[in-house]
Chain A
Amino acid sequence: MVIQGGKSNPEPTVCSVTALTTTPPAGLRNWSLGCAVQVIDCVCTDVCVFLQVNTSGYYRMTREQQAVEQARRAFLTGRSRPLDYRIRQLKSLRCFIAEKKADITAALQKDLGKSENGTELYEMLSLEGEIMAAVKHLPKWAAPRPMEKNLLTIMDEVYVQPEPLGVVLIIGAWNYPWAVTLKPLIGAIAAGNAVVVKPSEVCVHTAKVMEDLLPLYLDKEMYPVVTGGVTETQELLKQRFDHIFYTGNCMVGKLVMEAASHHLTPVILELGGKSPCYIDKDCDITVACRRVTWGKYVNCGQTCIAPDYILCEPSIQDRVVEEIRKCIKEFYTDDPKNFADYGRIINKRHFKRVMALLEGSTVALGGDSDESERYIAPTVLRDVKPEAKVMQEEIFGPILPILTVSSADEAIHFINSREKPLALYIFSSNKKLIKRMIAETSSGGVLANDCLVHFTVSALPFGGVGNSGMGCYHGRHTFDQLSHLRSCLIRGLAMEKINTVRYPPHTTEKMRWARLLILRQVNLGRLRCMVVVTLLGMLAAFMAQRLRK
């Protein structure tokens, strides 16, 4: 454990450790030393970092500690603050996506059986759009935002300045491994943060591509990629970050939040949930079913905003099943198993989990599977009971249960009796009903008469509420969430006379003035007008006087 000067490298380089000398690196208290200590010296070799703490020994940092320290040191150099730097990084991220398309697609093919065009459509398309938007709008996003003033500060500058938070940890998920990992990364880069990227270990090939190729394009000190499973993630979470962005499930979400609480780190959690889909009898059922079929079976149902179950009245259930049958045939042919555009379940464990959900429900369509290929056919279940196994957890697979409800009211009641979902889909031609359902339910987002596409509008915040997560992202929202919006009041020292009203000794007279000056904001518009008019008047008088001279 104790290595003097770093034996693996005969000439270790001593880093500048100004930042480390007073703040012990995050997680230090979890070291074998047992307490927070001062770092005296830091030695870097090619393979690892050694830190000298209070005692005479050098301690080797874990790979995770090292990545975080490295990112923090890079952040503290301040090189990520200029917008030029951020835009350069974003542009090279775009190059990465364009140039390494083949590697990315191949890895996804191996991990999730995604077809080439499917990958392009669902992963890369939105990323490119996001990068382009960030590059284009960054100067506007990062600019100071002027705010309202009161009388006391009428002559001062009052604005909100977005500034980087520091080191952000992004933990990706496996269902859209590129989209959900790189989208937050784009926002984090735009906001000027250093980022530790932790791709999901479930997508082995994708994680490998990310680890190997991303550092070739991005500043590898500022944006290290750390791969690994549960142990590595736990070790990472012990470190101190300035923000954590997690995409995944509820259970891990709680662990992430719990870990973050030690360092008072804010978190964004993008979780899932059972997103309901209500099909009203007053709607174009053919079109509705096409859109639902598409939304459900894309990526083999492994989409966090996929419609999880259908709620409809018993009278239309048969038609819904029939229409979905037609659409499945149209989209994936009679033999989805051998059709390139139909995906696979990520791994054996999930395959077993999804298959177990079928238990106790009536299969109306599909239902066949092949464990060796992790294939499950597009499946529809009918007349499913609310207590059925398939209704107890997020399905995250190509199984679509249909539950019957007697009316829209019952549907609303059913939705409200469960945890708040990430998305709510309403299919109806009745605008009033849609408005009512929006008003009487809660969910991360609502989409009427279609599936998934609200995800593509980057101006809309994307995120959950309650059990489906906290915080939101996409476009400008990512930038805002991963920035600190610092309130700034820039005053001068002039006009000290006016200030006497607020200084003790206090008198009633002073109080009246203070109330007016410091606190009155109401009708500021009118007040501002008045002040401007007065100032203009004064200016005019002044000019007139000068002219007379």
Chain B
Amino acid sequence: MVTSPGSKQPETGRAVKGAGAPSTDHCWLYWTWCVKMDGYKTVIDSLRASFRSGFSLPEQFRLDQLEALVTLIRENEKQILEALYKDLGKPKFEAILSEIDMVMNELSFAIHNLKTWMAPEYVTKNLATKLDHCFVHREPLGVVLIIGTWNYPFQLILLPLVAAIAAGNCAILKPSEISPATEKLLVDLIPKYLSQKCYAVICGGAEETKKLLENKFDHIFYTGSQKVARSILQAAAVHLTPVTLELGGKCPCLIYGNLDIKAAAKRLAWAKFFNAGQSCVAPDYVLCNREMREALVPALRQALEDFYSPRPRECADIGRIVSERHWTRLADLLQRSTGTVVIGGETDKEEKYIAPTVLVDVPETDALMEEEIFGPILPIICIDTLADGVNFINAREKPLALYVFSDESKVVTTVLEQTSSGGFCSNDGIVHMSLPGLPFGGVGNSGMGSYHGRWGFETFSHRRACMLRGWGLERINVLRYPPYTEGNLGWLRWATGSKRKGWGSCSLM
């Protein structure tokens, strides 16, 4: 099903063949053709033209597109699961929970709330503007670029897309080339279900992305690593494009004080080894004191045995590492580490498998502490006091998430107040990102900007301040016109200052 973005076509986007384009049944070949011709410009220009014509603006259009996305997922759930299995060996349970249902949930949340989000927001006024309409109008930004990543290749590109559609933008998606099965699926499915006038999928690796970034977008939404983020920001600076960065970082997990260690170990193990540790919000390392460690290691061992059986390698519920390169990186980290492996440690290159691994006696300067681990390896670092733990966290870059396990609310509050991180979750892992009410995003090195639910809608909207005045009361305006006098100034001060309650009605009288 091919269309040329410029040609006339039914609104559902199903198919008129583009004149002049190579005739093929594959959309991305068409795009590839465009790329060769003039570096993505054709695609972007055609999307911009649709945006300019106001095509993506009406509430009904946005709802239709969101519904179409729902249909896409409903009708293709099986293919999606297969693709995810091919790329990451993702267990069905994890795939449904963290990819499909996450998106579905976001979709229904957006569909239900779109009207509220789009409504103008009336604001409080001062006396001088009492009779006017002051409101904030959310308007779409234009053509946005969404660059996904491979650890949740489906969710991390579609959640921002939901927000972009809801906000009324046109969007170009760039799925990660490291998860090829999902990439291919998105290329096939998106143009089939969504309007091709407004949404396009572009494939390619680093080289293509670089070229793509030379074009002007109205917003760039990137999920991935700090290194690439820097070059994206640099490219964005040329066109003054606002950017949302969803990066990772080493998310600490502090275990301290009184607690049910068994429950804590279970939750920690679940959060860490979900998707084989390849989550940007997975706990990266554990901080606890020696006694706690003695209790924690057996509890973790038990939890892992309960979860993945004593032979995790044969268990269907544990995923694989995405690519050979990443497997090598992890195996290398494991080898270079001076810590002691107490659980797991087996690796298999053939299968890109790494067993759930826990290490103790890991020094602060260990190889495992240099970068984000992003794999099923959990180092445990010993601290003496809570203050040590807080200092340890503060001495490093601000993480995307911070976890504290403790039954003592004082411990939780102390850590919460004295540290900084994108998100904070006590006594559990990852779950905080399943709440669409909470903004999801980093701070400092873990990113900028946020999304999920309304926050995503706001990210992709321009909040335009609107003020509609009338013609009356020109007399009062004399106060502000030159020549300036002391008397006029006094009146103006009084009128523009924010008023205590009661003044508003008074002034109307």
Which residues from chain A sit less than 8 Å from chain B, CB to CB? 18-19, 21-23, 76, 78, 81, 115, 117-118, 120-121, 125-126, 128-129, 132-133, 136, 147-150, 152-153, 158, 160-161, 163, 165-166, 242, 250, 253-255, 257-258, 260-262, 264, 266, 269, 271, 283-284, 287, 290-291, 294, 330-333, 339-342, 416, 429, 431, 434, 438-440, 442-450, 453-454, 456-463, 465-467, 469-472, 484-493, 496, 499, 502-506, 510-511, 514-515, 518-523
Contacts and interface: CB of A to CB of B under 8 A. Distances in A.
Contacts of A121: 480, 484, 489, 492
Contact of B445 (A153, A264, A331): A264
B240 A515 contact: no
Given A264-B445, A466-B218, A485-B439, A502 B465 contact: no
Nearest to A434: B468
A465 B137 CA distance: 13
B450 A485 contact: yes
B240 A253 contact: yes
B211 interface: no
B240 A467 contact: yes
A-B CB proximity, top 10 nearest: A261-B233, A148-B437, A147-B437, A506-B93, A459-B123, A117-B484, A504-B317, A487-B438, A257-B237, A445-B465
A449 B440 contact: no
Given A129-B497, A504-B315, A505-B307, A440 B54 contact: yes
Contacts of B444: 165-166, 242, 264
Interface string B312-348: 0001011000000000000000000000000000000
A489 B435 contact: yes
Interface of B: 52, 54, 57, 91-93, 96-97, 101-102, 104-105, 108-109, 112, 123-126, 128-129, 134, 136-137, 139, 141-142, 218, 226, 229-230, 233-234, 236-238, 240, 242, 245, 247, 259-260, 262-264, 266-267, 270, 306-309, 315, 317-318, 391, 394-396, 405, 407, 412, 416-418, 420-428, 431-432, 434-440, 443-445, 447-450, 462-471, 474, 477, 480-486, 489, 492-493, 496-498
Contact of B435 (A81, A153, A471): A153
Nearest to B486: A117
A449 B470 contact: yes
Nearest to A445: B465
Contacts of A294: 477, 480-482
B465 A462 contact: yes
B105 A264 contact: no
B424 A487 contact: yes
Nearest to B438: A487
A465 B141 contact: yes
Nearest to B412: A490
A489 B237 contact: no
Contacts of B93: 504, 506, 510-511, 514
Given A254-B237, A456-B496, A496-B262, 11 more contacts: A121-B480, A163-B420, A266-B448, A271-B240, A290-B477, A291-B477, A446-B464, A461-B136, A461-B465, A492-B427, A506-B91
Contacts of A472: 463, 465
20 contacts: A117-B489, A121-B480, A254-B238, A257-B237, A261-B230, A261-B237, A434-B468, A442-B142, A446-B137, A449-B471, A457-B125, A465-B462, A470-B240, A484-B443, A486-B424, A492-B427, A502-B97, A511-B96, A521-B437, A522-B105
A257 B232 CA distance: 11
A281 B492 CA distance: 31
B424 to A, nearest CB: 4
